[in-house]
Structure 1
Amino acid sequence: MREVEQEILARVPENDVTPSLDRIQAVMELLGDPQRTFPSVHLTGTNGKTSTTRIVEALLREHGLTTGRFVSPHLHDIRERIAIGGEPISEERFVAAYEDVLPFVQMVDARSVAAGGRPMGYFEVLVAVAYAAFADAPVDVAVVEVGLGGSWDATNVIDAQVSVITPIGLDHQRFLGSTTEEIAAEKAGIIKAGAIVVSADQEPEVAAILADRAEEVGAQIAWAGAGFEVTQRDQAVGGQLLAVRGLAGEYDDLLLPLHGEHQGANAALAIAAVEAFLGGGEQRLDADVLRAGLARVTSPGRLEIVRRSPTVIVDAAHNPDGARSLRLALSDSFTFTRLVGVLAILEDKDVLGILEELEPAFDEVVVTRSTSPRAMSPRALGRLAREVFGEDRVTVVDNLPDALEQAAALAETDAMAGGAGAGVVATGSVTTAADARMLLGVTTA
């Protein structure tokens, strides 16, 4: 398994993409189009994709279906990206699927290089492995999160019966466009002929682009607020209690073990997607099955409590919209009297935008770096943080282990002084969340 992973990692990284489906389509054709042997639900958006994917998959599995789930990136183990029946693919299955696709990948690599192009990248190969594994299992349905964008994302060789659009904002502008309209046009590419689309609430200009695409290909579209919505939301131990109006029914007493209003919205979106897949949006779900499925949902690295005394939360927020959701969720779902942030952000992100969104949430911040080679240096991040937070609220620490220790000490000092509600939040990127989890002894996702 280790050798296979190293071979895949040696390929063009997933953050250096070529906007084309030619290579992945060629491999799929040589394999006999395994991605057409199972129906699918396809998800895109800027934030909330992974959580919503995991909720959709959990609900379909609770309805008795054998599921395949594809998400990215992973936190600790590459096999997290490909799950069958809710569990990461086994090493044996992963290696077998890789060995099945490798000869065809090598053929396409040779053709592409001979024509002046590049070989298949890391992400493209993982998609090929996932689709081959799903077909071999076989799965009854695959729930697939895009890696980047939509139209030319390698996952988009499927023709999904249901397309799910989470909120669209600015991120990955280098590849997707500099405006939300350009990004929306790219993400709308997952909407296929005759599909049912369920979309989160979007900005008017984004909604117009999605609606145009749906009309162009003859897809139906249902919007959060008009077609489905959270009708009631209350805090509960370990998460929140929801009432949801779906496409085909109303459901109450739904315990969702995730924090934040945005996760409630993700759950409503997922319920609508499952209604669309199972009954074309016209058949009410069994409420008990729905409750059981939601109660088992997890979303590692997303507002996840990984330690107590002091409470340490990790969150993968990596753009301003994600940071805003984190800030709102912290005030909505927790009662900290003092909060210390541990921030490590990638240098190609909107760092200032992230810091400005998080500033009201934290009394102090410890800035550092994750293990990602794209991480901004602590010194440079510290300079920007001082512009936003002020000199006396920022501490710069060279590495994440020491930064977590420093933040915990700051929180514990408050507790020793009589503060009962001090906590630590490690955030800024998926890598930051993964690194913090591992340092605190949490290595499964």
Structure 2
Amino acid sequence: MSYEHPNQGKATIREVERDIMSRPTEHNTTNLDLDRMTMMLDLLGHPEDSFRIIHITGTNGKGSTARMAEAICRAYGMRTGLYTSPHLERINERIAIDGQQLGDDDFIDAWEQIRDFVGLVDAAMAKQGKPKMSFFEVLTAMAIWKFADAPVDVAVVEVGMGGSWDATNVLDGDAAIIGPVDMDHMQWLGDTVEQIATEKSGIIKPGCTAIIGAQPHADKVMPILEAAAAKNHATLVRDGIEMEVVARTLAVGGQVVTMRTPNGTYEDVPVAKFGEHQAHNALAALAAAETVIPVNGVLDGDLVAEGLSGVKIPGRIEQIRTSPTIILDGGHNLNAAEALRRAIEENYDFKQLVGVIAMMEDKQVEEYLGVLEPLLSHVVVTENSWRERVMPAEELEKIAVDVFGRDRVTRVDELPDAIQTAVDMVDVEDELGVGYGHGVLVAGSFVTAGDARALLAEHVDPDLQRTKAERVHQPAVEPEPRDAADNGAAAQIEEAEPKAESQQSEEPKVSGESAGNDDADSASVFSPSSQSSISSSSSPSSTPTSPEN
């Protein structure tokens, strides 16, 4: 097999995306079996046997931990595959080789290589009265095939939802990471943390290394996870026992962490993400990397630092602009909201932070908003592009008023207008200049974060400005050439790392600082091309993603 393949059929990425994403969602095809994926791997000749595997589940932190583990392995010279979900802007994001998402032709080729086998599986399932393959199962099969085709030395694979019956659980991981287990997706995984933990413990396979992250409900969850490890004769590595975060210090752009694993202690490792939870994600990633990297004993600290200092995790407490500061976060449950609040309080010193919130109807919306209430001076409620699942802005407004009070809530139905409204609120001048200590937080869903990322991009893909339904069922929009002058308004919000400022305490915080703006009322947060493409339509879209949104 060879890694590079031409796009023989001359299909476009949007055509392939529509073919895949028009399939049923994962939770509509799960029959408490893995028959479709098992048959697919049989047809493909079990390509998963050719590489080592780090398998990751948990209510929160999966994507961050996956990217960190991949980065450490890549720093060590291993060829890596990375499979994550959901995607924020482009479907290609889900599958990466050596830290680079698949190009369009390579993604199309992966689909073309397995498409006939998908048809065979669909036909076999139809004879048994079972659903055809879901979009997530197809993407999982594409990733596995591509990893073997590369070939990679190690694949880092994030579950879509749950564990036991997730499409990825046809894989037997050398390392199985279970991050924090909390309440989410109760309609599919169970309405208690014990039931959810049982589902997630299904990725612990015989003889693997089971790496258990810090648990918010340890008294209820740990006995279940420890029993699963014992049943499978797995090596148990628990946060706070066999491994620990020894110390952490805030730094510009992230933190410096000292970590202990079963193999040794790693001192002063730079981690390029904010928040205590990210230090624990890095710890789990490091323990997993120790499992698959062919080195006896402690890893080279410089290579570990190289991996963790350069990791980028889109949509997870991601600052994408200053002037004013704009932060995106795709978390959507209580544990994620608490981690978000702690990270912002610890690392920023906002005098005014306005939230732009759009959430899915099936989330614990009131509780999520309640966690963020002390953090936000005002909230702008809106809708993201997934119209079938998003909570209507009118309903979200009622809940927000109950949490924040009428005077702290504004409703703006379309996300582009909501972001602009929030920016206008914080784009004020005080004695330190325009925008200093003022920011906007766009949060509530990975779809919301992805939409905002597309809107705020300097170079906007017109196809991302359409609704999800349009992208799945209608032809793609061809990008129009950009004039050099189009870059002018985009520069009004400069992309930069947060700036550290001295505090009374020894730990630095950061605050967005802007260049002056003489015409704040008329200034747009979006580039001209972005404005024109969204002014008369709904907000941009990520195509349907897994139920993890």
Is the TM-score greater than 0.5? yes
Corresponding position of 2:95: 82
- Structure 1 distance, partners of 2:293, 2:98, is 17
> Whose Rg is larger?
2
- Structure 2 distance, partners of 1:251, 1:215, is 28
Corresponding position of 2:16: 4
Corresponding position of 1:271: 286
Corresponding position of 1:201: 214
Shift of 1:233: 1.0
Give 2:344's aligned amino acid: L
- Structure 2 distance, partners of 1:17, 1:310, is 44
Check if 1:428 corresponds to 2:439.
no
1:289–1:387 Cα change, 3 Å: same
Contact between 1:415 and 1:422, CA under 8 Å: does it hold in 2? no
Q: Give SS of 1:119's match.
A: coil
Shift of 1:279: 5.7
Deviation track 1:43-88 (CA, whole Å, cap 9, x = no partner) reads: 0000000000000000000000000000000011111100001100
Choose which of 168, 181, 188 in structure 2 pairs with 1:155. Answer: 168
Check if 1:168 corresponds to 2:181.
yes
- Structure 1 distance, partners of 2:68, 2:250, is 19
Contact between 1:247 and 1:275, CA under 8 Å: does it hold in 2? no
- Structure 2 distance, partners of 1:143, 1:151, is 17
Give 1:437's aligned amino acid: R
- What is the number of equivalent residue pairs in this alignment? 444
Give 1:262's aligned amino acid: H
Corresponding position of 1:326: 340
Corresponding position of 1:300: 314
- Structure 2 distance, partners of 1:263, 1:17, is 33
Give 1:204's aligned amino acid: D
Corresponding position of 1:59: 72
Give 2:397's aligned amino acid: G
Give 1:438's aligned amino acid: A
- TM-score by length of structure 1 reads 0.97
Shift of 1:244: 1.1
Give 1:13's aligned amino acid: T
- Structure 2 distance, partners of 1:391, 1:424, is 19
Corresponding position of 2:523: none
- TM-score by length of structure 2 reads 0.79
Corresponding position of 1:285: 299
Regions of 4+ moved over 4 Å: 414-419, 442-445
Contact between 1:35 and 1:131, CA under 8 Å: does it hold in 2? yes
416-425 or 85-94, larger mean C-alpha shift: 416-425
Shift of 1:276: 2.4
Check if 1:344 corresponds to 2:358.
yes
Contact between 2:59 and 2:179, CA under 8 Å: does it hold in 1? yes
Corresponding position of 2:52: 39
Identity within the alignment, %: 45
Contact between 1:261 and 1:332, CA under 8 Å: does it hold in 2? no
Shift of 1:277: 2.4
Choose which of 209, 216, 230 in structure 1 pairs with 2:245. Answer: 230
- Structure 2 distance, partners of 1:146, 1:172, is 13
Deviation track 1:350-387 (CA, whole Å, cap 9, x = no partner) reads: 11111111111101100001101211111100000000
- Structure 2 distance, partners of 1:14, 1:191, is 21
- Structure 1 distance, partners of 2:443, 2:178, is 24
Corresponding position of 2:139: 126
Q: Give SS of 1:347's match.
A: coil
Give 2:378's aligned amino acid: E
Corresponding position of 1:216: 231
- Structure 2 distance, partners of 1:64, 1:354, is 41
Deviation track 1:207-259 (CA, whole Å, cap 9, x = no partner) reads: 11011011111111111011111111111111111111122111122111111
1:336–1:11 Cα change, 3 Å: same
Deviation track 1:319-346 (CA, whole Å, cap 9, x = no partner) reads: 1111111111110111111111110010
Corresponding position of 1:437: 453
Structure 2: state its 5+ residue gaps.
Answer: 1-12, 462-541, 543-549
Check if 1:16 corresponds to 2:28.
yes
Corresponding position of 2:378: 364
- Structure 2 distance, partners of 1:98, 1:412, is 46
Structure 1: state its 5+ residue gaps.
Answer: none
Give 1:256's aligned amino acid: V
Corresponding position of 2:497: none
Give 1:169's aligned amino acid: D
Contact between 1:62 and 1:289, CA under 8 Å: does it hold in 2? yes
Q: Give SS of 1:144's match.
A: strand
1:303–1:242 Cα change, 3 Å: same
